[in-house]
A and B are shown apart, each in its own frame.
Chain A
């Protein structure tokens, strides 16, 4: 079974075609990179895969389940969407604990381990609003991987990270791939795509073109 199948996916917003008849099949356990200029449709494609928008036509199937029909959102999903913040008044641990409480499949120790894994201190008492941009990005990655999801969708995961942070995130993503997760990355940093991805796709004007590997 493919991790993700996209069939004739089209999204039109106020008469503008954002995604244009996209067809894709993504196997499990691989890393897929999507690149393209700003506004090319990368984020919208990811939003459709995650069930955050309803396609104008076509369908997205994740692990055999049609998004928006069989399920609202993929069953096992870790996600980073650009510019999404957490609760400013809470510490990093409190933020992740709240999010983890929704599914309730991991305990406090696993949350702590995820925070440590991205190089942060789970006992840091500073509220999230006092975090630097890099720390916020690390925490976002921790929330995406903490529940060991089968599908990890990351929009610009190395944004705002320093060199050490970038290396750490790349290492984590390769470990997640080893675990069997399917990872989708959108990035404008070519090195991220080149170093990490098994398959590379160019997104341009709402169309997706496979440029290396894949089908």
Chain B
């Protein structure tokens, strides 16, 4: 169960005791990567952008290359974090009941965290082309926080649906309804009906595609000038 670390949140109830630790464990790594990668586009616009861009093949090629690099770094970050947790777990003597479930859970955690963070990192970077990287990080953190509120604010019957559409809460693996997770549900948290990994992948891919299309539109029309 050690690999659930950082991806377990209690399901919001009408009245509940809020333990800060799981929320911090969930939020801090995701916000860290947002702060760290939020100026990835913007840094190309600080100095000498007109001389750099007019030597590039195309605006779109620049965007695709940047997107590729961001994806690589965010994926590497989550792979590093999760693998480190697993290694520490193994060193401390934790055993797996089923190797195939173990691998499947690791892959799910990495992919869901990667996609969820990539959406916000990309959004931050695209917004930075309109304003600047600090403001865009602020906007993204605000959106992220509003989405995250659903993890501990009880809304009522509509809550499961909102969670199922929430890009921030897709990596909460314990709320998923997959059979291989139920076996390991030592926290006895009731999963959300029909909220499974494939659903999360689909939702995150739709958000990501929307932001990529938005980014392409922005980069094709944005004025290239030094922002500093």
Which of A52, A84, A99, A102 contacts B223, CB < 8 Å?
Answer: A52
14 residue pairs of the A-B complex, CB under 8 angstroms, read A51-B54, A71-B58, A72-B53, A72-B60, A73-B54, A74-B54, A77-B54, A81-B50, A84-B51, A84-B226, A85-B47, A85-B48, A87-B48, A99-B55
Complex Cα gap A85–B53 (Å): 14
In the complex, which residue of chain A has the Cβ closest to the Cβ of B57?
A72
Complex Cα gap A74–B57 (Å): 9
Binding site for B on A (CB under 8 A): 47, 50-54, 68, 71-74, 77, 79, 81, 84-87, 99, 102-103, 143
Could you tell me the distance in whole angstroms from the C-beta of B59 to the nearest C-beta in chain A? 4
A72 touches B51 (CB 8 A): no
Complex Cα gap A103–B54 (Å): 10
How many residues does chain B have at the interface if contact means C-beta atoms less than 8 Å apart? 19
In the complex, which residue of chain B has the Cβ closest to the Cβ of A96?
B51
- Contacts A52-B224, A54-B220 given: A72-B50 contact, CB under 8 Å? no
- Apart from A73-B54, A102-B52, A143-B51, what are 10 other A-B pairs with CB-CB below 8 Å? A50-B50, A51-B224, A52-B53, A53-B223, A71-B58, A85-B48, A85-B226, A87-B47, A87-B48, A99-B55
Complex Cα gap A73–B55 (Å): 8
Q: Which residues of chain B are near A99, meaning CB under 8 Å?
A: 48, 51-52, 55
- Contacts A52-B224, A52-B225, A53-B223 given: A72-B56 contact, CB under 8 Å? yes
- Contacts A52-B225, A86-B48, A87-B48 given: A103-B55 contact, CB under 8 Å? yes
Q: Which residues of chain B are near A47, meaning CB under 8 Å?
A: 223
Complex Cα gap A143–B48 (Å): 11
A79 touches B51 (CB 8 A): yes
Q: Which residues of chain A are near B224, meaning CB under 8 Å?
A: 51-53
B56 touches A54 (CB 8 A): no
Q: Which residues of chain A are near B59, meaning CB under 8 Å?
A: 72
A79 touches B48 (CB 8 A): no
A52 touches B48 (CB 8 A): no
Could you tell me the distance in whole angstroms from the C-beta of A51 to the nearest C-beta in chain B? 7
Complex Cα gap A99–B56 (Å): 10
Q: Is residue B221 within 8 Å, beta carbon to beta carbon, of the partner chain?
A: yes
Q: Which residues of chain B are near A102, meaning CB under 8 Å?
A: 52, 55-56
Q: Which residues of chain B are near A77, meaning CB under 8 Å?
A: 54
Q: Which residues of chain A are near B52, meaning CB under 8 Å?
A: 99, 102
Which residues of B202-228 are within 8 A (CB) of A?
220-221, 223-226
Complex Cα gap A52–B36 (Å): 28
